[in-house]
Every structure is written in structure tokens, then in C-alpha cells.
């Protein structure tokens, strides 16, 4: 029947088939935003006073001490580095405006790098000394869970590759059916798909999967005709229709796979912690075989877990929410986390794109805790298969995070969530700041070719204070990778990465290739920030969920303008000051090679070949969990 169905028949099929349970209407009304300037005035006048300190939990005092220590370390380190640079500048003559800009940019960027390094360092500590204030995994016995702890597992999708989406969902459903509390769960596919052919495929795949699962899984499908506010609107639509039926909901992305045990454990943790509003897992990236994806998988599995553990150390019950592979308490979410439009005109107004950080801040404002758990196994996602798809995803993330910055003064938000809104924007704004710092430093080098500070460490090739600060900055960026490898070997886990030698050489390869990709990301993110601030149109497309190699012509079309500008710039600088070109090559050369770097790292053959030789091996590739075997079958 499905093969003969036409797109125009879809509404009739949905009406004639029980694709969803009876609607039980609930209210989810957004609260208007106060506005940046009014919120700032309320904060400065003392009118914005949080009441969450009353009967504060024990972890809150620990979190305050830790955050104060983090700020003290960052400010002290940045102050010392800034004084060194300032002393170097005073030895120079002229160009005070450029010197001031250089110093201001350096202070912001060095503080940003230092905060990341200290976060990774605390993550390294937590690996060996478990945090007594972290949310424990131990909860209730799944067999004793309250029958009222009904949980919806929702997967919002929009024009996704149907086969891979339903393969992952099938694996999750099969694992859930084998869990101790399978009867508590309902599964919903929430489709915003507007492509008629994909709609037909989704209906066929849902029907087939429902038949295969039988009575072991209640699987529903909802096709939304009015596609407002993208994913956040899709989730809100579900909550208004069926949210009152459930105590919790687990949100999945189209590329998410979770085991039944991990989902059941999340429910147990919520039941054991009634003030928990959101518990976010740390998904493991896996499933894509291109070299680029395997680089990101390895980096996330090795160094990434230090940063995640470090974030958990600072944030505790006021953590991140990443929008997927997480469990949410439905009632307060519906009451407090509806999202209003951002007022005004331009690219930073309208529908909130990066809804997750804002929803976490709203949940905490309502008095509920938001936790990040790094120890829970069985939560997986995929990475973009190539650099162009990653940058396509980053473009909309960039605009979403810049939009969120407008809410940084919203009354009632906790300081840590204001900091998250700032760091979310800073993760992209740092790109033009780095580019500006490079250009200002280059200008000073061209304008003051004879000026330099006293020789410091000539045997290390460091002849000036500025070069020393550059070396220190690069060290802070590189050391977390070293600490991550040491942490793995310290705990005897190197066998899961192919052995100590394979782990070390893989970490070195990842560092080299990431250094080559970093200038490309810097220029791309700079353009994204400019695009977002100028209000130019944003092309919104979901990233590919399947491996796809980049064609040479596509890469040339995308990167040729940047390559041409870089080539002309290097040529002009060579004609003006030959020695300055060597100073720029670490940034300029990867940009000149952007096309081959992008094309070669997108190749699956290269990624698979390196995997066979134990390069960039992760534990999930070494011993693939059964749920992933089913998802990839």
C-alpha cells in the first residue's frame, strides 16, 4: 500500500491510522523577554535579586567556591601575561592605538584560553578523584519505579535520511524493550519534514518498525503541518498535545542512539532527585568512518572528556543542556521553559535557534537543578562527516549563540547560566578576535621592523616577550591533549585505544590535523559572525547523517575566494617585509591548502584504512556496543 501511495494521500493515511494517542491538551505559554537594556538596568539597580539561595543544597556552596577559584586563576594569569605584554609595548615607540588594541584583544583571548586550560586540568583531577558533589548514578531499582513515572522518548526530525534515522531508533527501541521498566516508555517520532518523498518514506519506515516491535514498544508518529519555531517548536507542540501524560521526556536527535539501561537509569536518577529538572548525558561520538569524523570522535573521546568532566566540576547542578540525549521533567518544562520570540529586526531577532542553553537557564530560574552526568554509558551520537558539513552546522549554531547573548541580562538567570550564554557567543566571537589580534600584531611588526625586546630564550627560538606569550598560549592549548593521554594511561585504559603506542601516535596525528584545520575554522567562524551581525539570510539545513566525500569542485567553490585573498596578502607582505611571511605561514599555509585538506579528510577509505592500522581508534570502535551493532546493521 505504501509503495503506491502519493504525497497527497499522506493526510488521509494519517487520519485513518492510529499514529498517536488521544490528545490531552496542556498549556505551554511563553513569558515575554525583559530585554537586554531593561534587564541590565534591573541588575544594576538591585531589583534583580535571585531567591534560589534560600535552603540552598550543599553542592551550591561548593560550586561557588570552585567558580571563585576559577575566576581568580584566570584573572591572575591574564594580569601577569598582560603586564608582560604592556612592558614590551612601552619599550616600543609610536602607534599607541594599535598597541592598545593588541593589548585589549590579548587580555580577552588569553583569559579565554586560560579558562579552557584550567577546566581541562580540573577534569584531569576528577578522573582520579571522584567528585563528592556530582550527581550519583546510583538510584532506584528499575523494577521498583513508580508506575506514574511514565516517560516519553521523543525524536524530532526534519528532512533526515530515513534509513539511518529509523535504524538508530530501532536499536534504541529494541534495547528499551529488554529493560526492566519497558512498560513506562512511549516513543514518538515528531516529524517536521516538508519533502513529500521523505514523508512517504518516514510513514513506511514507522509502519514497518511498529509491526516489527509489536507489543514490546508503543511507537507513535506525528507529522506537523504548521512547522513553526523549528525543533523547539516541535518539542513544545508535543508538550501541549501529550505532555500531561508523562512525568519525564527523553529528547533524542536524529542521529542519537541510547541503550535501554541508560534511559532507565536516567529515570531512576530523576526519581531519586525530585529537584532535578534536566539531566544531560555526555554522548559518545561514533558511527561515521571518514577521516574528519574519526578525528572528531577521537578528540571527543580523549581530550573532550577532560573538558566535559571539568565543566561538570564547575557547574554541578547548574549545568549545560545540549538539546538531545537528555531527560527532562515535563511539568516544570511546560510551565517555565516556553520560548518567546526575540523582539526587534535583523538576524539576531525572531525565533530562538539555539534553544537548549536558554531552556537550561529557564529551568534553573524556576528553582530546578540542571545536571551533567559524564559517567553514564550507553549514550551515542554522530559527527559531521566532513569539514564543510561541520561548518554548515556551525553557521546556524553561531547565529543561535549570538542571539542568546541578548538574554544575558534576563532577570532571574543565575550567574553561571549568564556565563554560559557569554561563552556560547564567545566560542564563535573568539574567531574574529584571533584574526584581529593576528592582523594587529602583523601591522606592528611591519611598522616597527627594528623594534624588539631583549633576548629571552634564544636557544628555544624565543627572542621577544611577545613570542614568549605566543609560546605560552600554544602550550595552554596543547597541554590538555597531553593530560588526556596521561589520564587514559594512568587508569590502564590504553588497550581500548589500540595500546599505548597507538594512543600516543593517534593523539599526535589528531593534534597536527586539528592545527591544520584551525585557521580554516577561524576564517569561517569570522564570516559567520559577520553574517549574523549584519542580518544576512541564513540557510538552515540539517547536516548529513551519513558519510559523504567532498568533491574537489565543491571545495574549490567554497574556499577559492578565501584562498585567493590569503595568497594575495602573503604576496604583498613578502614584497614589503620578507621575514614577516614566515611568521604568518602557520596560519596562511593551511588556508592555502583548505581545498585538499577538506577533500582528503572527507574520505571514508582513508578513515577506514587508518582504523585498520589502529590510528584514531576509540573504545566504541575497538569493541562495538551491541546497540550500535544493531543501529549499523
Q: Which of 109-123, 128-142, 297-311, 389-403 is the least confident region? A: 128-142
pLDDT tens-digit map of 67-111: 999 999 999 999 999 998 888 777 666 678 888 999 999 999 999
Q: Closest by alpha carbon to 292, among 458, 41, 128, 510?
A: 510
Is the confidence at residue 413, as pLDDT, over 80?
yes
User: What pairing do the DSSP bridges indicate for beta strands 276-281 and 326-329?
Assistant: antiparallel
Residue in the block written with cell 508506575: 147
Distance between CA atoms of 416 and 313, rounded to whole angstroms? 12
Alpha helix segments (H runs only) across 178-329: 196-213, 230-242, 260-272, 291-315
Average pLDDT for the chain: 88
3-state SS of 141-190 is: CHHHCCCCCCEEEEEEECCCCHHHHHHHHHHHHHHHHCCCCHHHEEEEEE
Is the confidence at residue 508, as pLDDT, over 90?
yes
Residue 165: predicted pLDDT: 94
pLDDT tens-digit map of 353-398: 899 999 999 999 999 999 999 989 999 999 999 999 999 999 989 9
Is the confidence at residue 28, as pLDDT, over 90?
yes
Distance between CA atoms of 487 and 490, rounded to whole angstroms? 5
Q: Which of 88-92, 110-114, 321-325, 429-433 is the least confident region? A: 88-92
pLDDT tens-digit map of 583-629: 888 899 999 999 999 999 999 999 999 999 999 999 999 999 999 99
Specify whether the CB–CB gap between 379 and 262 falls below 8 A. yes
Rounded to an integer, the average pLDDT of 457-486 is 77
pLDDT tens-digit map of 167-225: 999 999 999 999 888 899 999 999 999 999 999 999 999 999 999 999 899 999 999 98
Q: Closest by alpha carbon to 369, among 418, 406, 320?
A: 320
Residue 91: predicted pLDDT: 65
Amino acid at each position: 500500500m505504501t509503495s503506491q501511495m502519493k504525497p497527497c494521500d499522506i493526510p488521509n493515511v494519517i487520519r485513518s491510522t492510529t499514529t498517536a494517542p488521544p490528545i490531552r491538551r496542556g498549556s505551554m505559554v511563553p513569558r515575554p523577554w525583559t530585554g537586554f537594556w531593561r534587564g541590565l538596568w534591573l541588575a544594576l539597580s538591585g531589583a534583580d535579586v535571585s531567591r534560589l539561595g534560600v535552603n540552598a543544597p550543599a553542592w551550591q556552596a561548593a560550586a561557588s567556591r570552585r567558580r571563585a577559584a576559577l575566576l581568580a586563576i584566570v584573572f591572575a594569569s591574564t594580569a601577569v601575561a598582560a603586564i608582560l605584554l604592556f612592558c614590551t609595548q612601552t619599550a616600543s615607540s609610536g602607534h599607541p592605538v594599535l598597541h592598545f588594541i593588541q593589548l585589549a584583544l590579548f587580555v580577552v583571548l588569553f583569559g579565554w584560553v586560560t579558562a579552557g586550560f584550567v577546566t581541562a586540568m580540573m577534569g584531569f583531577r576528577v578522573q582520579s578523584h571522584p567528585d563528592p558533589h556530582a550527581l550519583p548514578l546510583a538510584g532506584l531499582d528499575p523494577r521498583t519505579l513508580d508506575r506514574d513515572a511514565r516517560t516519553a522518548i521523543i525524536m524530532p526530525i526534519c528532512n533526515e535520511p530515513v534509513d539511518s534515522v529509523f535504524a538508530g531508533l530501532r536499536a534504541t527501541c529494541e534495547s528499551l524493550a529488554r529493560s526492566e521498566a519497558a512498560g513506562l516508555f512511549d516513543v514518538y517520532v515528531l516529524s517536521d519534514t516538508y519533502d513529500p518523498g521523505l514523508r512517504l518514506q518516514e510513514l513506511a519506515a514507522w509502519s514497518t518498525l511498529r509491526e516489527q516491535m509489536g507489543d514490546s514498544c508503543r511507537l507513535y508518529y506525528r507529522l506537523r503541518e504548521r512547522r513553526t519555531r523549528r525543533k523547539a517548536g516541535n518539542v513544545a507542540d508535543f508538550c501541549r498535545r501529550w505532555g500531561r501524560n508523562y512525568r519525564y521526556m527523553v529528547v533524542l536527535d536524529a542521529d542519537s542512539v541510547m541503550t535501554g539501561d541508560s534511559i532507565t537509569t536516567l529515570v531512576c536518577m530523576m526519581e531519586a532527585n525530585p529537584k532535578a529538572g534536566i539531566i544531560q548525558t555526555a554522548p559518545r561520538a561514533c558511527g561515521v568512518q571518514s577521516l574528519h569524523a574519526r578525528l572528531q570522535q577521537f578528540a571527543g573521546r580523549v581530550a573532550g572528556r577532560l573538558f566535559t568532566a571539568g565543566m561538570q566540576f564547575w557547574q554541578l547542578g547548574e549545568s549545560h543542556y545540549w538539546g538531545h540525549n537528555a531527560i527532562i521533567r515535563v511539568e516544570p518544562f511546560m510551565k517555565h521553559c516556553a520560548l518567546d520570540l526575540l523582539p526587534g529586526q535583523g538576524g539576531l531577532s525572531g525565533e530562538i535557534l539555539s534553544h537548549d542553553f536558554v531552556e537550561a537557564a529557564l529551568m534553573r530560574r524556576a528553582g530546578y537543578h540542571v545536571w551533567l552526568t559524564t559517567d553514564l554509558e550507553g549514550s551515542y551520537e554522530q559527527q559531521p562527516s566532513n569539514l564543510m558539513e561541520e561548518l554548515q552546522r556551525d553557521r546556524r549554531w553561531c547565529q543561535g549563540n549570538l542571539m542568546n547573548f541578548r538574554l544575558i541580562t534576563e532577570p532571574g538567570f543565575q550567574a553561571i547560566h549568564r556565563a554560559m550564554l557569554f561563552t556560547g557567543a564567545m566560542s564563535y566571537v573568539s574567531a574574529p578576535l584571533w584574526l584581529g589580534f593576528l592582523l594587529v600584531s602583523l601591522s606592528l611588526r611591519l611598522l616597527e621592523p627594528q623594534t624588539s625586546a631583549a633576548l629571552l630564550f634564544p636557544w628555544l627560538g624565543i627572542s621577544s616577550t611577545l613570542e614568549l606569550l605566543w609560546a605560552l598560549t600554544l602550550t595552554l592549548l596543547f597541554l590538555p591533549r597531553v593530560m588526556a593521554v596521561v589520564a587514559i594511561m594512568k587508569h590502564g585504559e590504553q588497550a581500548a585505544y589500540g595500546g599505548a603506542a597507538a594512543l600516543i601516535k593517534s593523539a599526535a596525528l589528531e593534534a597536527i590535523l586539528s592545527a591544520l584545520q584551525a585557521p580554516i575554522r577561524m576564517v569561517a567562524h569570522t564570516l559567520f559572525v559577520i553574517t549574523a551581525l549584519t542580518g544576512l539570510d541564513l540557510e538552515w539545513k540539517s547536516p548529513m547523517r551519513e558519510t559523504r566525500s567532498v568533491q574537489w569542485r565543491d571545495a574549490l567553490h567554497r574556499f577559492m575566494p578565501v584562498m585567493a585573498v590569503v595568497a594575495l596578502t602573503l604576496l604583498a607582505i613578502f614584497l614589503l617585509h620578507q621575514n614577516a611571511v614566515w611568521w604568518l605561514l602557520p596560519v596562511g599555509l593551511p588556508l592555502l591548502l583548505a581545498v585538499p585538506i577538506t577533500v582528503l579528510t572527507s574520505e571514508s577509505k582513508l578513515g577506514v584504512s587508518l582504523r585498520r592500522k589502529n590510528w584514531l581508534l576509540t573504545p566504541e570502535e575497538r569493541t562495538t556496543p551491541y546497540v550500535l551493532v544493531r543501529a549499523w546493521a
